[in-house]
Amino acid sequence: MNELIAPLFVREGRNIHQEIPSMPGQYQYSVDQALETVRRWSGKGLRAVLLFGIPESKDPTGSGAWDDNAAVQRLSGAIKETMNDMLVITDTCLCEYTDHGHCGPVVHRPDGQADVDNDAALELLGKVATSQARSGADIVAPSAMMDGQVSAIRKELDEAGFQTTAIMSYAVKFASGFYAPFRDAAESPPAFGDRRTYQMDFRTTGQAIMEAAGDVAEGADIIMVKPAAAYLDVIAHVRRNFEAPLAAYHVSGEYSMIKAAVREGWLDERVVAMEVTTAIKRAGADLIITYFAEQLADWLGE
C-alpha cells in the first residue's frame, strides 16, 4: 500500500466532481471536492497523491502553471495543512496550461516549422517547481522531457530555499498512444504536431539508460518509467542499472483499457488490476502511480 501513488485532476471552481468520459471512475475535481477525496484516500491508507491542474484559461507560455493561487497550489497547501502524513507530489509541466498543448513555449523557425523552445521551457519549469514547493509540495515531478530540466529545477529550488523538496523525474518517458485518455482528462492534446521530438521512441531501450543516468546525475531523487505495463522490460532494465528509487506510471490508456473490458464483462476487474499492479512491482518498481490506487487500497484492506 505504501508504494501506491494516486493521480488526481484538479480544476478551478467549486463543487465540481465530474467524471472523465474516457477514464471511468476518474474525475476532475474542484479544490474543495479534491480535498474531500484525498481525505477519503487517506482514511483508506493511501499515502501519496500526484496532482495535475487544469487552469481556467490557457496562454502561449502556460503562466497558470506558476500561479501561486492556482488550483494545484491551493490544493497542495490545503492537504499539507490538514493531513500531515499525506505526501504531495505535483506534476511539473506546462502542457496543461499552454493554449497549444505543448510542454514548453513554441518558437516558429525561419522555415515555418514550429518547435518547442527547450531553454525557454527550462526557465519556466523552474518557476513552476518553486511555486509548487512554496505551496507545500513535498516532491515535484517534471514530466516535460526537456533536456536539462532536472538540473534547472534543482538549481531554482535550492536558490529559493527548497533544498529538501525532492525531484521525481519522468526520466524514461516514451511517446505513447496510451496517454490519449489523459489528454482528455487534462484537456491538453497538442494543437499541432506531437510530442515525439521530446519524448522517447518506444522501439529502443538503450536511450532509457542514458536518460535515467542523465537525470540521476542532474540530481533526480526518484526516477520514473512511463508507461508501465507495456514496458515491464524497461522497468527491470532500469532497476538492474540504478540504485535510485524507481517509480512506474501505469498510465491512463493502460487503465481505461481494463475499465472498458470490465464494462463489457470480458475481464474481472479485481483480478486483472491486482495482476497488472503486481507485475509492475515484480519488474522492480518501488513506487507505482496508478488510477487503481483507491480500489487497490479497498481490496488490500479487506
Residues making contact with ligand PBG (CB under 6 A): 91, 93, 95, 143, 179, 182-183, 195, 251-252
Sign of the dihedral defined by the CA atoms of residues 264, 269, 272, 273, in that order:
positive
| Shortest reach from residue 85's CB to ligand PBG, in Å | 25
CB closest to ligand PBG, residue no: 182
Helix/strand/coil for 244: coil
Is residue 152 within 8 Å of residue 126, measured between CB atoms?
yes
Query: Is residue 167 a contact partner of residue 128, using CB atoms and an 8 Å limit?
Result: no
- Cα(100)–Cα(94) distance, rounded to whole angstroms? 10
259 is catalytic: no
Q: How far is the CB of 290 from ligand PBG (least distance, A)?
A: 9
Least CB distance to ligand PBG at residue 240 (A): 25
Q: How far is the CB of 185 from ligand PBG (least distance, A)?
A: 8
Q: Is 173 among the residues known to form the active site?
A: yes
User: Annotated catalytic residue: which of 44, 155, 226, 281?
Assistant: 226
Closer residue to ligand PBG in complex, CB, 50/83? 50
CB 154 within 8 A of CB 167: yes
Place of cell 505504501: 2
- Rounded CA gap, 254 and 197, in Å? 23
Handedness of CA 174, 100, 59, 152 (dihedral sign): positive
Looking at the Cβ atoms of 130 and 149, the one nearer to ligand PBG is 149
Least gap, CB of 170 to ligand PBG (angstroms): 7
Q: How far is the CB of 125 from ligand PBG (least distance, A)?
A: 11
Measured from the CB atom, is 45 or 189 closer to ligand PBG?
189
Nearer to ligand PBG, 78 or 144 (CB): 144
Q: Is 112 left (phi over 0), alpha (psi -120 to 50) or beta?
A: left
Q: How far apart are the C-alpha atoms of 18 and 5, rounded to whole Å?
A: 21
Grid coordinates given for 219: 540530481
CA separation for the pair 201, 205 (Å, rounded): 9
| Dihedral sign computed on CA atoms, order 167, 150, 250, 188 | positive
All cell numbers assigned to 161: 530555499
Catalytic residue among 58, 173, 259, 281: 173
Grid cell, residue 7, equals: 493521480
State the catalytic residues: 173, 226
